[in-house]
Structure 1
């Protein structure tokens, strides 16, 4: 990533270029990312390919001002952090579900080492999760506006827990972006993937709440957790929420298309 691209990325986040790659600067960038760049799977339902290469990720998140899911969001964020002087490793995870662990390379998270000695897990691509990075080496409870988190040893891997419930299991060896292409393809095409079966667009709001559009269902949650849910009637209403709530300009309303193979 060249300085022009990183400056444009920082403008998308509403952030100044940090003087040093510190832990505090990472925490600020992490929260700004969650507020500015939505977690969304619209490409799957708009016949847009999910491509995991550096330029395509930057084009989507920065130039086109879109969001994405874990591979895209954490992939792009990792590029920005590396350009700002952080030491970044891509880590592969498997999401805990009702039927056990998901597929290999089910999730992408970041291990980030900072100039002031921090060693953290950054994750701006898991939907409702921690608002700040988690301490990689801490095994006690870590308080966060998104809940109470713990990082637990799991036979050489690490389980990340939220409010006592395992969210995903991380490998500790570093990966490359290409390692996640099979997982991104599976999540984009398989009828067994929840991403092919539903639409989601979600981000944290400036007051600490959340706005989520799932198909035509708009859910707003305030900082105290009070939810308001309403159904949108017209295509114009849906497109207005994408535009005004998420900064995403669409010419058509996405519709669930399901998996491409069975």
Structure 2
């Protein structure tokens, strides 16, 4: 159980873990508040490896973050170790209103507890669910970081979030089981395809236990506090951005394998498109 012990330390979880709803909700929230969503390795042209050994070393031991395949890979490994019933799913991201239906490039999961199912996802950037939601379409569900709902069509389901302008679709999915090979192929596509959004912008998001969050798009940082308008700031330099990631987002960048030096970070940022 060394993995579970180290994972619990990474999350600051010190309760009694059971395969129940209370544990699922607590681990889901703590994961999004302690392991940032980020795509640094894609921008650094490093391989994104999805096996258990590499994910454990990067996200848990090195205290880095990652994107959906890494985040949900670690999370579902922990859930299975605790005895949860987990179904791996794949989704088509539609948050940018694409003109045609995109491929399945997002990882999420369905958790079954007794006679009820829950949608769990700790890896969707600034719109990540901070707690699981019950798998019941057309029901508004409130999380510490926003309101969500599932809608159902003849072909699939859609996860939506509520903004000031109304409901926004995030991704569409069905209940077809996804195999590790499906994630390997999609991971290669989103990390290597020249037009992938992950290859042109630095993205980071981290939830806070009080319902706030911080998001980064290149040097543009947005801080969300509960009940207050979001505040956006354009950081003056790459060094200021590096410091923000380390100090405010608690992202460790000193690991001998998974770390990032300031010099390498500056070189990386020079290649990116403006936010």
TM-score, length of structure 1 as denominator length: 0.89
Matched with 2:21 is: 23
Distance 2:184 2:101 in 1: 15
1:246 corresponds to which residue?
Answer: 249
Contact 1:109/1:122, CA 8 A, preserved across alignment: yes
Gaps spanning 5+ residues in structure 1: where?
none
Q: Which structure 2 residues correspond to residues 178-189 of structure 1 after superposition, within 5 A?
A: 178-189=181-192
2:211 counterpart of 1:208: yes
CA separation of 1:7 and 1:64: change in aligned 2, threshold 3 A: same
Q: Deviations over 1:141-188 (max 9, x none)?
A: 222233332222222421112223221111202212221112111211
Which one is further off, 7-16 or 116-125?
116-125
Q: Counterpart of 1:160?
A: 159
Rounded Cα–Cα distance in structure 2 between residues aligned with 1:101 and 1:94: 11
RMSD (CA atoms): 2.1
2:122 to 121, 124, 137: 124
Aligned counterpart, 1:9: 7
Alpha-carbon deviations, 1:184-208, whole Å to 9, x = none? 1121122321111111111012321
4+ residue stretches of structure 1 with deviation over 6 A? Answer: none
1:95 and 1:101 in contact (8 A); partners too? no
Residue equivalent to 1:57: 55
8 Å Cα contact 1:89/1:111 also seen in 2: yes
Match of residue 174 from structure 1: 177
Name whichever of 222-231 and 57-66 sits farther off: 222-231
Number of the residue aligned with 1:113? 112
Residue 269 of structure 2 corresponds to 255
Return the offset for 1:39. 0.8
Confirm whether residue 42 of structure 1 aligns to residue 52 of structure 2. no
Deviation at 1:84, TM superposition (A): 1.2
Counting only pairs closer than 5 Å after superposition, residues 68-87 of structure 1 correspond to structure 2 as 68-87=66-85
Is contact 2:145-2:211 (8 Å) kept? no
